[in-house]
Each structure stands twice: as C-alpha cells, then as structure tokens.
A and B are shown apart, each in its own frame.
Chain A
Amino acid sequence: MKWLALTCAVVMLMIPLSTHAAQEAASISIEQMRSDIDGWARRVNEIEAQIQKMNVQAVNEKDIKWKLCLDDILATIKGVSASIISARNRMDDMIRSEKKDAAQVQFMLIKGLADAAERAFTESQGCPRQLTRVDTSSTIEKEEDKSITGTRGDKGGIGDAMGQDFTEDFATERDPNDLGAEDPIDGAGTDTPGGPTGTPDNTGGDTEGPIDTMPPFVEPSPEK
C-alpha cells in the first residue's frame, strides 16, 4: 500500500511536469532541438574537462579530501555525458521513424541531463579541501595544514607540542639568523647529526656556550 501511494504521488507530480515540458518542446523545431543538444553536449564536455583538470590538481597537491569529492562528481558527469550521447541517438531514431512526440521526450531528457551536469559542476566548486584560500589573482592555492605537516614555527605538529619556538613572538628571543624555513621532517630537533639533543629552544637543546664545551689542557706558553 505504501509503495502504491508513493507511486501515485510521483505520477501525479510528473503528469503536469511532463505536460509542461512537452508543450515547451512541441514549440521547438527539430533543427532547433539538434542545435540545443549540440550546445548542451559541448557544455557537458567542457564541464568534464574542467573537473578532470581539478582532479589532476588535487592529485598533485595530495589533497585526498578534495580528490575523493571530485572523483564522485566526475563519475556522475561521465555518466551524464554517456547518457546524452545515448539519448541523442535514440532521438535521431525517433525522428527518422517520425515519432516526434517520443523524440521530444528524449530532448527533454537530454535537457534534464545537461541541467544535472551544471548542478554537479556547481557542486564541484564547493568540494571541501584541506585549508584553501583564493588569492587576489583568483588562483586557488592550497595551504599546508600545519596540524598535519607540523611545519616549524606554526601551530600544530610535533615541534609545537614539544615547546619549540614557544617564545619566538618575543623580539629579544628571536634568533636573528633564523631563516624561517620549514622543517620538512617536523622532528623537533631529533634529526640533528651526532648524539641526542634536547628540543631546540629549550634548555636541553641549547648547545651554544660553555655549558656543553670542555677545556682540555693546554700547555701555557712560557713567553705569554
């Protein structure tokens, strides 16, 4: 009963829509329909190419989150593109067999598919990414997620957890020769050659000055 009621509701809804679409299509010539379909097909191909390009960019930027979202949309677009080709062929068959009404239904189906492709493209623009920003030149540039990569000097990451650069916002505590380069490994100083050291900027990591040095015996010069 439930399914029957649902089917009736859908049919009731579709009837006026189909009637409206059929009325709209009936007023269009066959040449106009073919021309419109060619335009929609080109647009769907463009959309597919653009999403494919974004997908490649996502791979290059190793933005897994972005890529997963684009993959879904790209699959949809490819399906839409294939459906348009198929519907276009069916429509041509209908026209050849002089079934104009059936051809108009295929035309409306293609129009719906083209609309679906546009919606999918709009959806692709809102795909979530790892921190994103759009700069003034309107190029999309991925920023590193500091909490994952742990770039030195930024919040997040192992260096930050270990208290590295805790006082760097104080002018007197800044290393005047600190080049501010990222630490590609985020090891909080454990990757230093030689033996183990404390975390840089902490007391144990300070290897400068006499605390870590030694004075071996030097013979005093008699002349001195």
Chain B
Amino acid sequence: MMPIRACLFCSFFLFAFAGTSLFAQEGEREKQAEKGFRLSDTAIMNVHFTLAPEFESNINNVSTRSYYEDHRDSTNNYTHTETKDLVLHLSPGIRAKIDDKFKTLAMAFLINYNLYTGLDDKKSFEKLTTLSALHFDTDILGEFNKDGNVVVRALNNLKRNSNLDVLTIENGLHTNLLEDFSLSVYIKNSEETLSLKLSSGIQLNYFEESLFSPYNFWSSRNNVYGQWKFLPKTAAFFNASFTYQDYFNADPVSRHDQRSMPLSVFVGVLGQITPKISLKLLGGYANSFSKEMHHDGLAGAEFVYKHSENTLFTLGYLRSLSPVAIYQYYSMDKAYLGFTQKLLHSRLLLKFDASYSHLAYGKNVKYPLENNPAQTRIDDNDTPNDASDDITTVTTVTQKSVDREDHLIRIEPMVSYNILHWLGISLKYSFETKQTPFYAATRVTRSGGGVPPSDVSYHLYYDYMDHRVLLSLAADY
C-alpha cells in the first residue's frame, strides 16, 4: 500500500512541478538576466540548494586485492571488498555581494551534508566521522580600487570536506579542514593590455583523524604573473611560482626531508586564433627543492573549438610538478578532452569529459632504501607502571616505494536540463579507476605483557575502480 501511495505522491508532485514550470517558462525567458534578491543598488543576495542522491559502487576506493592475514589463525583471514552505498547530499547555501565601480565585498557560505545510508554495509552509516558528515565551504572576498590601475584583492576560503583538493593520504574519504588565505595586487595600464599580478597566500590543512595527523601541513604560496594582451582575446603570459610546504606534525626524524618546495616558471600564449579556435600553449621549468633537488619540465597545450555558443570541444595536455608528503613531489602528465553541447535553446545540456593522468613520484623519504627491502621497527613500550610494560611490538614494513607511478582514468558523461533559469536537474555517471604497482605489506607481531601473542599482516594495494551515478536537483537564485 505504501509504495502505491508513494508513487501517487511522486506523480502528483512531478505533475504539479512540470505544470508550474511550463506556465513559468515564458516569463522566465524574459527574466534570464535577473537572479538573486537585490538588497540595494549595489547589494545582491543569492541562495542555493542542491538535493542529490548518489549511488557509489566503492565508497572507500578499496582494492579487492588487499587482504588481512592472521599467521596464527587462518580462519580470521579476509579479503577487502568494495562497499557500495547510496549517499544523500543536501547542500543549502547563500551568497551576498556589495559591488560597485570601486570595490567588491562578497561572501559565500555553503553547507553540505552527506548522509551515507548504509545500503550495503550498515557500518558506513554508523561511521559518522569519516563518512556521513556535515561539511561546509565559506568564502570571503574583498576587492578594492577596482577602477584604478592598481587593484587589491583579498580572498579567504575555509572549508571542511572529505574530497581533498590537493592531497589524499589514503584511498577513501578523510575529513579535513582547509584554510586558505591569499592577497593579490593587480597592476594594469589604462588600456588593460599589460597586467601584472603579485600574489601571496597561506594554506593550512588539518586532518581530523589522528591517524593522518602526520600529513597536516601549512604552505606558503607565492606567485608572479604577467600578461600582455596584444589582441582583445589573445595574450602572451609568464608565471613564476614558489611554494613552501611543511608537514608540521610529521615524525621529527623525517619532517625536514618531507618539506616540499617546488618552483615553477613558465611562459606561453593563450586565446583566440580564429573566431572558432582558441589555443593555449605553454612551456617552462620546474624544480623541487626538497631533500633531493629534482629538475623537471612544464608543458601545456589546450585546443578549444567553439563552433557556436552551443558547442564546445576541448582537448588538452598538461605536465606539472606538485608538492606531496613522503615523496617530496610528484610530476603529472595529464591528457583530457571534453565535449559540451547545448540544445533546446540552452535548456538541455549534454556533456562528456574524459581524462588520463600519469603520476610519477619522487623518492620515498620515509622508506628510502632501494630494492624494496623489508624494514623493521621494534616498539618496546617501556613506560613505567604501564600495564603494557612488557609488550614488544615488531612492525615489519615491505613496500614498493621506489619509482612509484600511478595511472588514473576518469570518464564522465552527463545530461542536464534547466527547468527554469535558476532551477535544474542533472544526471551524471562517473567512472574512475587507478592502476598502480605500488603496494605495502605490514606485518605486526606482539608478544609479552601477559596478552595473547599475535602475528598478523596487512597487505594493501592501491588500485581501485569506482562507479558513481549522481542525480541532482539544483536551485540557484
């Protein structure tokens, strides 16, 4: 009985919704440019809400080759399995802006609640700290002297999420806080053909799980960018950037070696070549001033074909160098393509994106020995008056840590429909896989202290496959 009622309710809802949207369409077309609540001549406020159920086939991105081995009792052995789940994303948000000829003051606040429903494994519903969580994303922007030749911009972003932008410690989701502040000065000539941007910023990344605290970092990012716009839509540019990244909670022994300081310098041209074709070409040099100095090249090529205001095709290649924990740096070669088509007077959107990335890591500073030998660490807890006084733990780590290379592939087709200009619905499928020869095995033996002796091994692989289907209903007014 309940399913019938639910179907009736859904049918009524959809019917009413479609009817309302049809009546509103004509009026809405005339109001395409109007969005947001105007508070005054210069102040406007926008609201946002997304409801998005998502099915994911491998929520922790585990490898099915990973397994646990108990050397004393083989009945405890198990192999890792993929956990699928249905995740409900609820995202209300608000933006406000005061904008005039001289300044812009703006803020945005977005809440994102991800509810893992425990479809396959009830534990995914119960592990609130790592899976279901309340995330947020805030931005505060100040831009001053906009009509002058020297523009100053300050931007602060604070967010809590589990979908890391620059660093993933482990496959899966790990909640972190990221604070990012940057101050930029733009210097332009009156014709705005010559521009110089000086920017400096500080990032602080904090993992909430203590297991990952050694990977907390702060970084200073400094950048000089110059641009000469020799045609209205075409420019030559140069970019010089230096980052200092320190893992302040790392093991004191390896903290100094983990410090990552990449320098990047590149020049290039970008912009329109013909009315339909645009290009970006760049090349440069990078160096990682870490424990070891690593010279590298930077490159980028992007081809954009814009057939009309409705069709866009992009094909590109990138090579970059970035800081990372343990390995000091990684260089990335990435090839990508995208195709976007708008139909029905820009109401229907068809999109296809695909990319392949090859990541090559620097040397592991924590386990630096060649030929992957087993490295043993003995922890003899010798704390007075401790019940575990006599426990001896021997940890033996074996891992392929030299010449690590990962391959990542992502494919994303998507369809989106604008019901109203501020209300839309989309369906996206995402396939993602990582292939890597990297693995790690850790054998832990315990004895003494009056506790039962144990001898177990963790065999971890880092390749995975993940399928996602995301249905989104988004309102942005």
Is A203's CB under 8 angstroms from B168's CB?
Answer: no
For residue A192, give the distance in angstroms from its CB to the closest CB of chain B: 8
- Stretch from A18-26, A74-82, A213-221 forming part of the interface with B: A213-221
Q: Do B48 and A176 touch (CB < 8 A)?
A: yes
Residue B117 at the A interface, CB < 8 A? no
Contact stretch, chosen from B1-9, B10-18, B71-79, B314-322 = B314-322
Contact B48 A169 (CB under 8 A): no
Pick the interface stretch among A88-96, A121-129, A193-201: A193-201
Are B476 and A171 in touch, CB under 8 angstroms?
yes
Q: How many residues of A contact B (CB 8 A)?
A: 67
Is residue A209 within 8 Å, beta carbon to beta carbon, of the partner chain? yes
Select from chain B the residue with minimum beta-carbon distance to A198: B316
Candidates A169, A196, A224; contact of B282 at CB < 8 Å:
A196
Q: How far, in angstroms, from A157 to B212 measured CA to CA in the complex?
A: 44
Q: How far is the CB of B438 from chain A (nearest CB, A)?
A: 7
Q: CB < 8 Å: which of A163, A196, A214 contacts B314?
A: A163
Q: Does A45 contact B (CB under 8 A)?
A: no
Contact B432 A185, beta carbon cutoff 8 Å: no
Instruction: Determine if B212 and A207 form an interchain contact, defined as CB atoms under 8 angstroms apart.
Output: no
Q: Which residues of A contact B366 (CB under 8 A)?
A: 217
Near A by CB (< 8 A), chain B positions 162-221 give: 163-171, 182, 186, 188, 190-192, 195, 197, 199, 201, 211-212, 215, 221
Q: Which of A170-224 contact B (CB under 8 A)?
A: 170-174, 176-182, 184-188, 190-199, 202-204, 206-222, 224
Give the CA-CA distance A90 to B430 in the complex, in Å.
Answer: 89
| 18 extra interface residue pairs, beta carbon distance < 8 Å, beyond A179-B107, A212-B334 | A162-B271, A163-B314, A171-B475, A172-B426, A179-B108, A179-B139, A180-B95, A181-B99, A181-B104, A181-B141, A190-B270, A190-B282, A199-B302, A210-B434, A211-B408, A213-B164, A214-B324, A220-B442
Chain A hits for B259, CB < 8 A: none
CB of B266 closer than 8 Å to a CB of A: yes
User: Contact residues of A with B, CB < 8 Å?
Assistant: 60-62, 64, 141, 147-150, 156-158, 160-163, 166-167, 169-174, 176-182, 184-188, 190-199, 202-204, 206-222, 224
Question: How many residues on B have C-beta within 8 angstroms of the other chain's C-beta atoms?
Answer: 141
User: A163 CA to B298 CA in the complex, in Å?
Assistant: 23
Q: What 1/0 flags go to B317-332 for Cβ under 8 Å of A?
A: 0111110111100101
- Neighbouring B residues of A147 by C-beta, 8 Å: 232-233
Would B322 and A195 count as touching, CB distance under 8 A?
A: yes
Expressed in whole angstroms, the Cα–Cα distance for A207 and B178 within the complex equals 15
Within 447-473 of B, Cβ neighbours of A (below 8 Å) are at: 456, 458, 460, 462, 472
Contacts of B125 in A (CB 8 A): none
List residues of chain B with CB within 8 A of the CB of A197.
Answer: 318, 320
**Which partner residue on chain A sits nearest B423 by CB separation?**
A171
Q: A-B pairs with CB below 8 Å: how many?
A: 312
| A171 and B349 within 8 A (CB) | no
User: Is the pair A171, B474 in contact by a Cβ cutoff of 8 Å?
Assistant: yes
A167, B340: Cβ atoms closer than 8 Å: yes
**Cα separation A209 to B410 with both chains bound (whole Å):** 11
Known: A148-B232, A177-B95, A180-B106. A202 touches B397 (CB 8 A): no
Task: Return chain B residues, CB-CB under 8 Å to A188.
Answer: 270-271, 280
A selection of 8 A-B contacts at a CB cut-off of 8 Å is A174-B474, A186-B229, A193-B201, A195-B322, A203-B314, A213-B165, A214-B167, A218-B169
Tell whether, in the assembled complex, residue B330 and residue A162 are in contact, meaning their CB atoms are under 8 Å apart: no
Interface residues of B in 330-362 (CB under 8 A from A): 330, 332, 334, 336-338, 340, 342, 346, 349, 351, 353-355, 357, 359, 361
A181 to B188 CA separation, bound complex (whole angstroms): 17
CB contact under 8 A between A203 and B163, given known A169-B421, A185-B227: no
Known: A179-B108, A190-B225, A219-B395. A171 touches B418 (CB 8 A): yes
